[in-house]
Amino acid sequence: MAPPSLDNFTPPTLPVVVELFTSQGCSSCPPADAMLETLADDPGILPLSLHVDYWDYLGWADSFANPQFTARQEAYARAAGERSVYTPQLIIDGQDTAVAPGPVQLMGLIDAHRASPAVVSLNREQTAEGDRIEIVPLSELAMPIDVILVRYAPQRTVEIKAGENRGREMTYVNVVLSLEKLADWDGQAPLRLTVRQEGLPDDSFPADTRHVILVQEDLSGKEMPGPILAAIGLD
């Protein structure tokens, strides 16, 4: 007999996750950054801007770059059998990738993922102790699963004073600040955990920081990201 679900849960509409790997020092990135901004108001889409650090040598150090995000992009490349990384790169729900697609191509990929059947149920209940999350498998899951807490800033504007984009003022949406793995899950039985947003470590997480949980396959069991099965915001 399956254990009972948490009381008072209302299953949310789960968004399609669009990750953009970008850099303030990349002259090809501004159109992709602008296209990501157009997605930010759609509740059915979660755009995330992950700034990589491998273009910093061109004369401008990206103020949002993090080696962790470069490592995530490199892991995606290994999973896809690619030998190099590039910017801008869009990855939809951890699966489909596109090199600077136009809006029509991008929305076609997003709509295909909207129509995909759910393989997990991701539910949230707000309590005095924090957000109680319940993840329930809806079908057999063959791969191990990572449960990831993403912290991001909803919008930031930067005046770029050097490098390939010198003289431009750029606005970025949903700028990822950190990725933190909360749990490994085998996907065989419901997983329940409590996420507390207070006690952030330092000024790296400002007052407007937002939080989202990603449920993502690990293709090798060794931190190789695969399909994102579900996502839910906590703010």
Handedness of CA 95, 96, 97, 100 (dihedral sign): negative
> Residue ranges of the domains in the chain?
16-233
Handedness of CA 118, 75, 209, 53 (dihedral sign): negative
Tokens of 88: 């801008």
Q: Of 88, 112, 78, which Cα lies nearest the Cα of 20?
A: 88
Q: What is the mean pLDDT of residues 216-232?
A: 88
Q: What's the number of CA atoms in the CB half-sphere (13 Å) around residue 158?
A: 21
The pTM assigned to this predicted structure is 0.91
Q: What is the mean pLDDT of residues 49-78?
A: 96
Tell me: the pLDDT tens digits for 123-175? 999 998 899 999 999 999 988 999 999 999 999 999 999 999 999 999 999 99
